[in-house]
A and B are shown apart, each in its own frame.
Chain A
Amino acid sequence: MDGLSPDSSTARPEEGRVAVVTGAAQGIGRAIALKLVSRGYKLGLLDIDEAILAETAAKVGNNAVPVMADCTAETEIARAFGEIESRLGPVDVLVNNVGQSARKRSAEFYLSDPEVWRFVVDVNLRSALLASRQVVPGMRQRQQGRIINLSSNSALAGDLQVADYAAAKMAIIGFTRSLARELAPFHVTVNALCPGVIKTRAFDNMPQTFFDAVTGRIPMGVLGEPEDVANAAAFLASEDARYMTGQSLVIDGGRCMI
């Protein structure tokens, strides 16, 4: 059976495995961390916001190692993974979740600022490369591992005012596919998740007209919950998805179909 027990539906092979989630303090990252700990993983949690990270780590419980780090800074990433591996052991699952649009600084492209592009590409794309670079040699050597990259349906659909973000998130898909091919012979899978609009604090202060416009574009007519993305991440991390690699799963209530 190539290692897949016919009882994989009831076994818990995840018990004790080590997962790292970047941008874990809030929103989707936090939901993924809580989901994975409920499946028995030990967790390394990275975030730049120390206070909120501490709150999330407390909620995750004894199996969490929180490390404050700026995921765009190579030295900070290296230090963070060093600390996590020394305390929990080698990383089995990496969830590259950190990322954001430029938010208040986002603009239509004709007005946009190259400084903002650089920030958006660094925080969405470069962070995933840097974190993956830390764990890939070990996964390759141990012939096991899961990398889950957060892309976005904005990359697929294209959205106004986020040209830089859409570019970076599409680049995540290119990275996912190439790394998937490199690591497939070593039983390491690399997949992407493309959430649509998910209820996180990014939308806290948006006016009702914004939500009306957004839900009007979603066939299911509702925004996603962070848990919807977390469930898919937990699936990709599990043995259930061992034969899937290089794929992008769209979780957006039917807006983009691939």
Chain B
Amino acid sequence: MQGDEGPRLQGKRAVVTGAGSGIGRASALRMAREGADLIIFDIEEDGVRATAEEARKLGRDVYSAQLDCTVEADIVAAFAKAKDACGPIDILMNNVGQSARERASEFYKSDPEVWDFVLGITLMPPLMCSRQVVADMRERRAGKIVNVASNAGLAGEIGLTEYAAAKMGVIGFTRSLARELAPFGVNVNALCPGVTKTRVINRISDDIVQEITKSIPMGYFAEPEDIAAVAAFLASDDARYMTGQSVVVDGGRWMV
């Protein structure tokens, strides 16, 4: 809630993918705090259940399910079931996505199978999940789609070639879908987080953490809540005249 107007997302139904931890969890809870009822998915059943319990404590109606967002048939079934149970979807936050992590490498020695994995989990899920809600949003002439891209796509990062490509793919998808849906009053925007304190950070050595910190003008990492706050803005009517944009939330590392 931002002061004068009351909860911005009251009466809305928001889907967040990858809501079991990190940015997805923080965004689901932020939207719940702003009045949204939720449909949340994650491949990790315990995580998504914990987020659901927390959101229910806020008084929201929550539908949660385990879902692997790389499997199209599962996505189709999961969205159909959720819509049957909850009714139409007002907000979709496509948050699922990841780098190759342990298998990340410089491009000259990279493995095409790893590219396929990263594209499959980072670029394809936003397309597949959006496909499940766009027809309805178009018809109802209302809706918000928030795609999580990354500042790695904009800045380019050594060792993250395929991840940067996939995230730039998310931005291209965002812009095209924004143009397609603009006449129907549906907003599609991307969010580009910088380095955010999620479980991923625990896997990085202290030396590298220090090095990354030095590259951030503001001098610290984002909390998941910093990204969630911007997601809630884009999911609200406060941003109703913004579409096709990539909003960078990275402490000033990359400026668009």
> Chain A interface (Cβ within 8 Å of chain B)?
1-2, 4, 6-10, 12, 14, 35, 38-40, 177, 180-181, 184-185, 187, 196, 218-221, 224-225, 228, 231-232, 234-235, 238-254, 257-258
Contacts and interface: CB of A to CB of B under 8 A. Distances in A.
Contacts, number: 136
A243 B226 contact: yes
A184 B252 contact: yes
19 contacts: A4-B226, A6-B225, A9-B1, A9-B229, A10-B1, A38-B3, A39-B3, A39-B4, A184-B217, A184-B251, A219-B244, A220-B183, A220-B185, A240-B233, A242-B226, A243-B218, A245-B252, A247-B247, A251-B241
B232 interface: yes
Contact of A228 (B4, B179, B194, B241): B241
A219 B183 contact: yes
A2 B194 CA distance: 16
Nearest to A39: B3
A247 B239 CA distance: 16
B218 to A, nearest CB: 5
- Counting contact residues on chain B (CB < 8 A from A), the size range is 35 or more
Interface string B1-36: 111100000000000000000000000001001100
Nearest to A184: B217
A241 B239 contact: no
B248 interface: yes
A121 to B, nearest CB: 22
A257 B178 contact: yes
Contacts of A238: 2
B218 A187 contact: yes
B182 interface: yes
Contact of B230 (A220, A221, A244): A244
A1 B221 CA distance: 10
Given A185-B217, A249-B245, A221 B182 contact: yes
A38 B4 CA distance: 6
Contacts of B244: 219, 254, 257
A113 B246 CA distance: 37
B223 interface: yes
Contacts of B1: 9-10
A88 B180 CA distance: 47
Contacts of A1: 223, 225
Contacts of B226: 4, 242-243
B156 interface: no
B229 A247 contact: no
Interface string B26-70: 000010011000000000000000000000000000000000000
B93 to A, nearest CB: 15
